[in-house]
Structure 1
């Protein structure tokens, strides 16, 4: 009896192992856990980073599992109340006018206005000049950006006049110089906030010398074009700080252009993993990628492995099972930890215990004994 129970137990385990091999994709979806945005949002609020908190929580509020969370609803209301107050808006406006930096739309708009009308560039050049005259430390990068900004402003004026005179034929030149101006704005803000990557600072100082000598923006057009795409995106400075060279800047700009206002939040969740997934935007829809991001990096990796159709189907099934508790998810995670070879070994062992080895051995001995007698006959 004990022997039979043991054999049945081995068979049961073997069936489970075979099921894991057969339904590994569904188990991968079942093992995923969706992100609870409330703790991280609360941390951002405690740090008074309200704009970032609103973007982060807002991304998840598009999904029912967060919409139905009372804590998320209360936190969203708290953030909106603070951001909507006159004192908060006034402080952000002051940031944009006086420092040229802000994380809110009103402050960014003020900073852009001062920079687009050369006020900001002259302000920064004057400040660096005073520092130099006093023997104080000067910021080569800010001075370089201001220099490029002044040249871009002059080019804008010339291009604008040319556009009028040629009935719009010079419009592309206006767009190019506007991109450079917009790029200088976000780069100066990034520098002041400590989010300008080192590689870019060196490139700007070198480029400014060329621009000053040639009075031409051709050498920086592509660089600033990519920066301008980030400048138009919420959280663009955070994305900029993660670039490592001109190539990664170009990829980041394309990512920001594709996902718009959700770009910074998606990168916050998935890092370089979401950039890799985003390159498959032709075969993976934006909605599917954003859905996968609610499961974190593992969700994005799972989407990469199984594709959009299977991922959407399996996660929908998993969400229905998940309401019954976390036990199934824990079991799925444990089973997925087992390597493929181990699963096959378990299946083989489960089959092996049911093979009548003793009968086969007796049959083998019978043939060994009988065969000589047959030969003598």
Structure 2
């Protein structure tokens, strides 16, 4: 083969262009699915620590007229006018239509629940038994605890069982002792205020009625073991059955300087009660596993008020926590970024390879023209 023919040979590209463009197309298709997830993940990450934003997003999918009507009917059937009213308020806030007949039934149920006779019975029950069924009942419980009567009642009952080796409720006994200690003039020293006093009564009532999660009960138990000198209570023995001795023993056994975490918890429960009502405070202890989650409910209650119970009933723990971990959300965003990077890289490679091929062909044409010119000149000399 002559030198001229070798010069005009078109070089074959080493990297096919279609490989790069196929990869770029694949990444582009993947981006169609990844990009919405990435935007959603970014939005969820921003709302990760905001229970109000979390509940609003969840309600947009889980709450409508059908759900509202069913929940209100169920609440009315259970004689829970407070919950029915909460769902009406939530429906109004979410612009969900309810029938006028259903609204009237709720109004009638609320009026009956708030009647003087019902309020008196509920207050008396809360005051005497410490088992509140509504806001009035918890008011009775709180009044009893505020004047130490309720805490003495619980301390005497559970303390005598503890001293005699019978089955007793450690949480109720410990909370009653803490209540006696803080009510006896130590509010200011540990930052204890009215919401926390109400919250302590609510936590104790939730324990007595079984409306508290196992994880939360375990946390309170650990806190009480650090706060209460159980050996001192044990040494008091049968004398705990005497109210005066029970008060003195409880005050001496409680180390108020170590009650900070417990104070924060009952303070948040008290905030929920103040903003959203007694039942909402008790409901918060039914879904929360630790004090941080109660704090989230308190933040939700500050914003949502009376609608809080309906939100907790509809969403459960989903009202304060995302079901997706922050790690997974971050991975969604990283996946979208990797997809975008892959598309850009593949497209860049495709452009480079197409450019290489174009330049190679251009050089080949120039070489062919040059060879042709050489051939013409050689023929002319011949």
TM-score scaled by length of structure 2: 0.54
Q: Which runs of 5+ in 1 are unaligned?
A: 1-20, 22-29, 160-172, 278-377
What's the CA shift string for 1:249-286, capped at 9, x where partnerless?
A: 33223222332222221222233444358xxxxxxxxx
Larger Rg computed on CA atoms: 2
* Distance change >3 Å, CA 116–CA 31, structure 1 → 2: closer
Q: CA deviation at 1:44?
A: 1.7
Alignment of 1:153-232 (within 5 A): 153-156=183-186, 159=188, 173=189, 175-176=191-192, 178-213=194-229, 214-216=255-257, 217-232=259-274
Q: CA deviation at 1:122?
A: 0.6
Say if 2:293 is the partner of 1:248: yes
Alignment of 1:1-377 (within 5 A): 34-36=64-66, 37-61=68-92, 65-66=96-97, 69-132=99-162, 136-156=166-186, 159=188, 173=189, 175-176=191-192, 178-213=194-229, 214-216=255-257, 217-232=259-274, 233-234=276-277, 235-276=280-321
What's the CA shift string for 1:175-206, capped at 9, x where partnerless?
A: 43545433321101111221112122222233
Q: CA deviation at 1:238?
A: 0.5
Is the contact made by 2:196 and 2:268 (CA closer than 8 Å) also made in structure 1? no
* Distance change >3 Å, CA 205–CA 244, structure 1 → 2: closer
Instruction: Tell me, in whole angstroms, the C-alpha distance in 1 between the residues paired with 2:219 and 2:103.
Output: 45
The aligned length equals: 238
Q: CA deviation at 1:145?
A: 0.6
Q: CA deviation at 1:63?
A: 6.3
Q: CA deviation at 1:64?
A: 6.0
* Distance change >3 Å, CA 72–CA 223, structure 1 → 2: same
Is the contact made by 1:124 and 1:143 (CA closer than 8 Å) also made in structure 2? yes
Q: CA-atom RMSD, angstroms?
A: 3.4
Is the contact made by 2:174 and 2:228 (CA closer than 8 Å) also made in structure 1? no
TM-score scaled by length of structure 1: 0.55
Q: Which runs of 5+ in 2 are unaligned?
A: 1-32, 34-59, 230-254, 323-382
Is the contact made by 2:155 and 2:177 (CA closer than 8 Å) also made in structure 1? yes
